[in-house]
């Protein structure tokens, strides 16, 4: 089981990490001027990339069921395999993000710019707007300088999606008649 988790988890990590690194490298020159729409596009692309990478959860559970267990798996073991693959893939997301930050991407500027845009759009002005900017700067500084905060937050960006995909995959693949292996009687 561990071998399957590592193989499929690393494949998922490579997929999600490659997409993140490629996408972020194209944005590096414009990062301080990133518009809210650009950030939303980035969020959508990142989420879709996670889903693509987490297809390895389904494939890994199916491989484990068909090759290691003769075509039959119970829900809990399937879920555990899926969660393991999701955890390894999510660590790939964290690792890729740390590479992006180390390559010069100043995410704190983006965080402050987004907070300022949102505060301005909500109608804040004067001292209230200044207070919001100061809070955003403090939050961004804490995020950037403290890996104890940053690493778990980055992990949590992807892992819940993996949990959902693991639950769905385990529910479907526990039925031995769902996509049965060739040569395995249902």
Give me the number of domains the chain comprises.
1
Give the tens place of pLDDT for each residue, 29-81.
Answer: 454 455 555 677 878 888 999 999 999 999 999 999 999 999 999 999 999 99
DSSP assignment letter at 74 = -
Domain housing 47: 2-105+152-173
Dihedral over alpha carbons 135, 139, 142, 144 (to 10 degrees): -130
Give the tens place of pLDDT for each residue, 145-181.
Answer: 999 999 999 999 999 999 999 999 999 999 988 988 8
pLDDT(186) > 50 = no
Report if residue 121 sits inside a domain. no
Report if residue 161 sits inside a domain. yes
DSSP assignment letter at 70 = T
Report if residue 184 sits inside a domain. no
- Quickly count helices (H) and strands (E) in the chain: 7, 0
Which segments of 67-146 does DSSP mark as H helices, in order? 75-102, 107-121, 126-145
Report if residue 48 sits inside a domain. yes
């Amino acid at each position: 089981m561990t071998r399957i988790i590592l193989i499929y988890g690393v494949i998922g990590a490579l997929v999600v990490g490659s997409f993140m690194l490629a996408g972020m490298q194209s944005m590096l020159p414009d990062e301080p001027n990133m518009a809210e729409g650009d950030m939303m596009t980035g969020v959508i692309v990142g989420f879709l990339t996670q889903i693509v990478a987490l297809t390895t959860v389904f494939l890994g559970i199916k491989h484990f069921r068909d090759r290691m267990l003769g075509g039959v798996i119970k829900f809990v073991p399937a879920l555990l395999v899926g969660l393991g693959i999701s955890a390894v893939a999510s660590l790939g997301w964290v690792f890729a993000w740390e590479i992006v930050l180390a390559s010069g991407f100043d995410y704190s500027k983006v965080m402050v710019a987004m907070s300022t845009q949102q505060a301005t759009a909500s109608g804040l002005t004067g001292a209230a707007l200044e207070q919001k900017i100061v809070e955003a700067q403090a939050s961004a500084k804490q995020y950037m300088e403290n890996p104890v905060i940053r690493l778990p937050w980055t992990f949590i960006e992807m892992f819940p999606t993996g949990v959902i995909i693991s639950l769905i995959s385990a529910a479907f693949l526990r039925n031995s008649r769902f996509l049965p292996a060739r040569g395995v009687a249902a």
